[in-house]
Structure 1
Amino acid sequence: MTKTVLITGGSGYIGSTIAHILVTHGFKVVIIDSLDKGYILNSPESACFYNGRISEKALYECIRCEIGKIDVTIHCASYISVPESEVDPVKYITNNVSEFVELLENLPIIDCKRLIFSSSASIYGNKQGALKETSAIAPQSTYAETKWLCEQIGGLAAEQGPLRIINLRYFNPIGTHPDGYCGPGDLNSGSLLNELTKAILSRTPFRITGTDYDTRDGSGIRDYVDVTDLAMAHAKACNLFDTLIDERAALDGPHRTRAINLGSGDGVTVKELIAAAEKALGRKIRTKKAPRRPGDVAGSYADASLAKDLLQWQASTPLETSILRHIDWWQRHRHQQPAPTPISLSSSRPDSVSTSHQP
């Protein structure tokens, strides 16, 4: 039987990629997106689209009437900039935490008892080496705190009702959908690959900030996972949801949540990332050494063995492929990022609701 999946933030970078992968694998996809950060044209044409915030009860009532029961909800709607979260913490607490609580309150309207939460490896803090799901939690930013708060709130809600939750902890998503349907929306996010991309496109030297770390080549280490691989993990989690939660209940008693790391399972140093980009592009990239930035550490990567064991999933896209898609996306879109598409609203529905993809 075809599963119906609701994706909040389904027009954003990760949410839209998940939507396309789910459609390809036979799921019926429903999307709620405010278009604050996302673009409706990123979403699959076959998806049922509802324009509004996840706190709007009318959206869920409309979904219940038009779509019916939702089997699984994937919650991707979130603000994600670490620097911005430090400048405006209230904005992040309101959007990421308060709206998450509203989502939990609205899920019974669509009879949804299964939630996949897009969490983050940032909740582990500035640790080094391989990180397991049991590694100590130590958020170092307001953004990371909001993700950890949501995991805790979700856990409390699951203990008191029928809700079950899988927390997928992302490491560093990169790349784009292989067919170019959707990709990252902010070249100025400050991520390492975005900074490398800007240097490549402008043909200016790339700054390697820190070359004296205790790593195999002295540069910092991170874990990069292709966004398409990440999306595939969600498809598998949707199909295996009940088995995953039942196994957890049998092992750990009454808990109704599970955390799973999603990463490559192997770290990549900054110098190795540059070498992979050079291989993908077929040319050298100019670099220059720079001091460590305040707060930087050697870095960490995922122990992704649980994802392999439980989801039968592991990252498979070559790093060079992800980098090439990432750079190509920005080469095509950096000067033409579209404004959010206006939505045509039906007079028979609440003003915040639309199932049309037409501008």
Structure 2
Amino acid sequence: MRKIILSVIGILLVVLSFLFAKNLIANKNKPKPFKQKVVKTVFTDTVKNTTVKVVIPASGSLVAKQRVELYAEVQGVFNYSNVLFRPGQYYKKGQALIKIDDSEYRASVQAAKSNLYNAITGIMPDIRLDFPEVYQKWQTYIDKFDLDKRTPELPKMTSDKENYFINGRGIVSSYYNVKNLESRLSKYTISAPFSGILTEALVTEGSLIRNGQKLGEFINPSVYEMEVALASSYAGLLKIGETVVLNSLDKTATYNGSVSRVNGSIDPTTQTITVYIEVNDPNLKEGLFLEANVNAKEEDDAIEIDRNLFLETNEIYIVRDSVLDVITAKPVYFSDTKVVLKNIPDGTVILKKPVPGAYVGMLVKPFEKKFKS
């Protein structure tokens, strides 16, 4: 029985060996599969060198070109008026913004003016006797003197004797004391230096105002400025009066501005230069954030392509006889998304969009858009 089992196993091994050898011979004679070449379709563009405007992107918020921070120089109670002191209130030039109660101080000013008037009238008899040639001009001065109006300027001295006489009576010192009091009295009323809008109000009518207290902020809403920081390498390219296109963040509004000022110094920390862009539009508000495109210069015989098409080796891919190749280019300006290049001959076929896995020698086929008839 054992011999029979061993014989059967031996026969099976021989049969299996024969079948395995036959399979190996069949696979050896089988022809190798043909590897078909893959040709990628690419988007291309033909180079035509032109004058490219170098536009520098920047951003910033608007600030009123004319703005005033209101501070009190005197102390008193804020008087009520027909126009409420509130944010958004419009005032014309010269209109009173704030009136502080000046009744007590005004009385002291009137007393000083009265003392000056009495002092001048007291010396008129002496002037008539000793200086009859100047009597008339001093009489005219007294006639024009009005306690309810600003004190007129003293008559001009025509001789040393007259000057010594008037100064010796204390007239000149009294006059300048009155002028000083009148100047301080005028500070009880704060008037609008220009037509504009109150943007901040820190006091209300009836409240006590103290010397040095901030009262609010007042701006001219017709002209705004935007401060932007640009790389110092553009310092020599920027010109005052250069047109600037401003866009809102959502790209729904466009405004035209101009470079009004360029700072003469460069920030040593950031190596940037500050540029001020002036813009005038009734729809603008202070604090609005805008994006600016500053025209720095123009590059002749240049092209502009997407930045991701420019290789780290300062080369770009070109298509030559349906094969990818590279050519050296000279970059003159980089933005976030674009690069301006020179030294690329006209008529050169370059890639318009990046090709994944691109290499020199890759077979490509330019994309041809078919139109339906």
TM > 0.5 fold call: no
Question: TM-score under structure 2 normalisation?
Answer: 0.17
The answer to which structure has the higher strand fraction is 2
Question: TM-score under structure 1 normalisation?
Answer: 0.18
